[in-house]
Amino acid sequence: MVKQVVTACFVLFHGIIFYWAFMTSCSNVQSSSKSIPTIARYFGTKGRYEEVNTYLIDDIFAINDSLVTQPSSKCNAVHLTAIIRHGTRLPTNKNVLKMRDFYNLVLRNASGNVNYLSEIKSKWTMWYTQDMDGQLVDKGRHDHSYLAQRLIKWFPSLLSEDNVRNGGVKLKTSSKHRCVNSTIAFRMGLMQGLNIEVDLNITINDTLMRYFDQCERYVKEVESNKSALAEMNRFNEGPEMKRSMEKMADRLEVPYASITDDSMEAAFYLCAYEFTINGLNSPWCQLFDESDAEVMEYVNDLKQYWKRSYGHEINSKSSCILFHDLFSRLDRIEDQINSNSSVSEAVMVQVGHAETLIPLFTLLDLFKDDTPLKSTNFATQQNRTFRSGRFVPYAANLLVVMYNCLDGIRIGVRLNEKSLTLPGLSDPVPLYKDVKKRYNALLSGCDQDTVCKIS
Ligand SMILES: *[C@@H]1O[C@H](CO)[C@@H](O)[C@H](O)[C@H]1NC(C)=O
Ligand SMILES: *[C@@H]1O[C@H](CO)[C@@H](O)[C@H](O)[C@H]1NC(C)=O
Ligand SMILES: *[C@@H]1O[C@H](CO)[C@@H](O)[C@H](O)[C@H]1NC(C)=O
Ligand SMILES: *[C@@H]1O[C@H](CO)[C@@H](O)[C@H](O)[C@H]1NC(C)=O
Ligand SMILES: *[C@@H]1O[C@H](CO)[C@@H](O)[C@H](O)[C@H]1NC(C)=O
Ligand SMILES: *[C@@H]1O[C@H](CO)[C@@H](O)[C@H](O)[C@H]1NC(C)=O
Ligand SMILES: *[C@@H]1O[C@H](CO)[C@@H](O)[C@H](O)[C@H]1NC(C)=O
């Protein structure tokens, strides 16, 4: 009898312990999966789309009308062009190498005794390998599939079953596997959202989606020019970076000379990739405080600024073809509307790279600060508009909507599902003719044969 009670208690006791352990582990899983690194908004081009639209964290299918300005007069949406960056991806080989070197440094040389270092050393495994080659991950497929489903909600009359069935919806992509796979995921989201199954072909066009490779002058003056990124290199040797490198060395308890700008970049990537790919707030993130993260963000912004944006005149020209492709389509649709014919191209989806979108934003004069980003003006650039994490996270998208309105044809532009007023225009949904007037110089120029040729 006594023995039975003891056994029962033992079972009960175990049950409670088990229940307690179970609940604790559940809540751990939950809290770590919901936990966002405090430095996540500084990840720049390695940042998560949800960081620019935080309401998506709670509901990935939500669309937020309060972020969009509708045209003032009575209008119908008649066309959508969506130019989208590929989704979340694995690191490239070059960066995997840097990450592995840094991991080995922590493993072998770091003597610091804090929790996050022991966690890296004993629990974390280096799972990034050199054959990953920047491939799209599951999160990246979701980025595109869910975006497609939100776009159906945003534009039900354009992304409709009829338009998909009658060829009014077109998908184009760069040939890079991460872009092709993003486009496949987008198409899957489209079919799921509309609950249909239709053959929808995907066209590859690198001239359109990654012309930067083919622009001779760009390749010579920037891509293969060691001095093109001089401002970034100077910043890497400057006082702000030196301070962050010393703090890193102090955290690891290694000599200052052991930490280079490459190790800083690798550590930052480890934090960023673990979060964007696996949703983990990993111990790597503990190696940075917010001021270090601002420094790392600035390095990335300097790179984008000088390699893809205002830093060199030729940078933006690598998207001239894409610019003309957009406006010639809008012109065709304008003609169709004016001649009362039906609109043949309801939706054009084009999937490319940060290197496709940043030059296009630059052509449009977006995110242009009064002073250039330099190695010496980190402090005064604190409030700059050129912050790549805000405009080109994974799956970043430029949406150009054409409306047929009572008072004419109008254009609405949205960046990452938020309305954007084109610089130099006061109306957030201007008349198409005013947009063309605004960009007249580009419309009558920006000819890639001329600008990219080296005489
Ligand atoms: C929409 O966005 C605004 C501004 O970011 C935010 O305050 C609001 O909570 C969002 N609404 C919903 C329904 O998520
Ligand atoms: C991406 O697509 C390519 C074909 O374009 C395929 O071989 C590859 O397995 C895909 N990668 C992933 C991660 O889905
Ligand atoms: C899609 O591509 C396939 C194979 O290239 C072709 O046979 C088919 O006609 C295309 N469908 C459409 C709608 O263009
Ligand atoms: C790619 O797109 C450009 C611009 O629209 C067009 O001129 C070209 O013919 C296309 N190339 C292919 C192979 O479809
Ligand atoms: C390389 O970049 C530097 C700095 O912007 C520039 O002065 C130089 O002309 C460029 N070199 C070539 C070959 O274009
Ligand atoms: C790490 O320590 C080893 C000796 O244990 C040394 O040879 C190596 O240079 C150190 N690495 C760095 C980057 O300081
Ligand atoms: C940036 O903006 C904040 C808030 O408006 C302001 O306090 C600060 O002085 C600005 N910094 C610079 C360098 O302009």
Asked whether the beta carbons of 147 and 84 are under 8 A apart, the reply is: yes
How far, in Å, from the CA of 386 to the mean position of ligand 7? 15
Nearest CA residue ID for atom 9, ligand 3: 201
Q: Which helix (H) or strand (E) holds 31?
A: helix 2-34
Cβ count within 10 A of residue 331: 13
Residue 363 corresponds to which amino acid?
A: L
Q: Which residues, 6 or more positions from 57, have their beta carbon under 8 angstroms from its beta carbon?
A: 50
Which residues fall within 8 angstroms of residue 78, CB to CB, at 6 or more apart? 158, 333, 337, 343, 346, 402, 403, 404
Q: Whose CA is nearest to atom 8 of ligand 1?
A: 55
Q: What confidence score (pLDDT) does residue 34 get? A: 66
Ligand 3 pocket check for 199: Cβ under 6 Å:
yes
User: What is the chain's mean pLDDT, rounded?
Assistant: 92
Beta-carbon contacts of 250 under 8 Å, excluding residues fewer than 6 positions away, are none
Percent of the chain at pLDDT above 90?
90
Is the pLDDT reported for residue 33 higher than 50? Answer: no
Verify whether ligand 3 is closer than 6 Å to residue 201 (CB atom). Answer: yes
CA 46 to chain centre: 7
Q: What topology is assigned to 2-451 in CATH?
A: Rossmann fold (3.40.50)
Cα–Cα distances in angstroms (integers) from residue 405 to residues 68, 334, 341, in the given order: 17, 12, 16
Helix (H) or strand (E) holding 392: none
Interval 168-173 mean pLDDT: 98
How far from 430 is each of 83, 126, 200, 409, CA to CA, in Å? Answer: 20, 51, 33, 9
| Alpha carbon nearest to ligand 4 atom 2, residue | 208
Strands (E) in 329-407, as ranges, are 347-352, 397-405
Among 22-31, 37-46, 127-136, 342-351, name the one with the lowest average pLDDT. Answer: 22-31
Choice from 101, 107, 108 to test ligand 6 binding pocket (greatest atom count within 8 A of CB): 108
Confidence of residue 9 (pLDDT cuts 50, 70, 90): very low
- Judge if the beta carbon of residue 278 lies within 6 A of ligand 6: no
Nearest 10 degrees: Cα torsion 215, 221, 223, 227: -170
Atom 6 in ligand 1: residue holding the nearest Cα: 55
Q: In terms of Cα–Cα distance, which of 35, 32, 45, 115 is closest to 265? A: 45
Mutation probe of ligand 4 site: the residue of 205, 319, 360 with most atoms within 8 A of C-beta: 205
